[in-house]
Amino acid sequence: MRWMYHIGRYMRLLAKSFRKPEKFSVFKDLLLTELESIGLQSVGIVALLSIFMGAVICLQTAHQIGGWIPVYTIGFTVRQTMILEFSPTLIPVILAGKVGSNIASQIGTMRVTEQIDALDIMGVNSASYLILPKVVAGVFIVPFLVVLSMVLGVGAGAWIGVATGLSPLADFEYGMQVDFRVFDVLYALTKTVVFGFILTSVSAYHGYFAEGGALEVGKSSTKAVVWSVVIIMVSNLVLTQMLLN
């Protein structure tokens, strides 16, 4: 029954976080800082992973097709794989590791060094001050990172296909356009918004309730990553069933 305690405490923390900020000017500054921290500072790792993912999918698909399967299948497969699953799911999982551990350790350190107590004693709603800007930034910026990942992944697939001679550019372009549905992108972005919320709020939860010292902050950071990934995966299954069927 321990998990019910955590769900209840998580919900109460969210309720405390989603209150009107004390001062909008302060919230705006914090939001911009978080957009930079979660978004801009993650562009490099997202770009690197997406380029290699797109290129590898292209090579793997080319390796498996032959005979009667047309070459444009390579472009089709790279597009579908990147848009439907790799970008919207794997990028948030990577961000859960990079951003989630950062959020949990930052808030956890503030907890064990009494900085959160200092906020509370001043009369600041510490949950709203610390968590709301991170969650709003995550929900807003993660979809942009995922779109960037889709574009770079498909682009890298096209480049490696042409560079290795496995797929002429015209075939790849044709494959990219075959049976394209805008709904697939909307489905992917819907998932991404939910995953952005999960990875920021679950990590913040583990940091906010950290107790003890450096060791516990480290443990809370690990828990934040593990639970963010687990919840993202479960949500992925539920959302896919709801949205695609």
Partner 1 sequence: MIELQHLEKSFGDHHVLKDVSASFERGKVNFVIGRSGSGKSVMTKCTVGLIEPDQGRVFYDGRDFTSMSQQERKVIRQEIGMLFQGSALFDSMTVQENVEFPLRMFSDMSESERHDRAAACLERVELANASSRFPAECSGGMQKRVGIARAIAMNPKYLFCDEPNSGLDPQTAIVIDNLISDITEEYQITTVVVSHDMNSVMEASDTIHFVHQGRICWNGNREGLLEGGVKELEEFVFASDLMRKIRKTV
**Element counts in the chain: helices (H) and strands (E):** 11, 0
Binding of residue 48 to partner 1 (CB under 8 A): no
Name which position in 7, 11, 15, 121 contacts partner 1 (CB under 8 A). Answer: 121
Which stretch in 21-29, 40-48, 162-170, 198-206 sits in contact with partner 1 by CB under 8 A? 21-29
Phi, psi angle pair for 21, to nearest 5°: -60, 150
Amino acid at 107: I
**Quick one: three-class SS letters along 18-66?**
CCCCCCHHHHHHHHHHHHHHHHHHHHHHHHHHHHHHHHHHHHHHHHHCC
The footprint of partner 1 on residues 144-183 (CB under 8 A) is none
Task: Kindly tell me which of 66 and 123 has the beta carbon lying closer to partner 1.
Answer: 123
Token pair recorded at residue 55: 């290129």
Tell me if 117 contacts partner 1 by CB under 8 A. Answer: yes
From 118, 170, 230, 242, residue interacting with partner 1 (rule: CB under 8 A):
118
Would you tell me the crossing angle of helices 73-81 and 126-163 to the nearest 10 degrees? 170
Does residue 85 touch partner 1 according to CB under 8 A?
Answer: no
Q: Does 14 bind partner 1 (CB under 8 A)?
A: no
> Residues 13, 47, 56, 124: which binds partner 1 (CB under 8 A)?
124
Q: Which stretch binds partner 1 (CB under 8 A): 20-28, 45-53, 95-103, 167-175?
A: 20-28
Shortest separation between residue 213's beta carbon and partner 1, angstroms: 11
Count the site residues for partner 1 by CB under 8 A.
15
> What's the per-residue H, E or C state across 125-189?
CHHHHHHHHHHHHHHHHHHHHHHHHHHHHHHHHHHHHHHCCCCCHHHHHHHHHCCCCHHHHHHHH
CB closer to partner 1, 114 vs 230: 114
Which C-beta is closer to partner 1: that of 14 or that of 93? 14
Structure-block tokens of residue 11: 């919900």
* Interaction of residue 123 with partner 1, rule CB under 8 A: yes
Tell me if 23 contacts partner 1 by CB under 8 A.
yes
Tell whether residue 114 is a contact of partner 1 (CB under 8 A). yes
The answer to whether 48 and 60 are in contact (CB under 8 A) is: no
Interface region with partner 1, contact rule CB under 8 A, candidates 47-55, 76-84, 116-124, 141-149: 116-124
The answer to whether 184 contacts partner 1 (rule: CB under 8 A) is: no
Write out the two tokens for 159: 């480049």
Sequence letter at residue 203: S
Q: What residues line the site for partner 1 (CB under 8 A)?
A: 22-23, 26, 109-110, 113-115, 117-118, 120-124
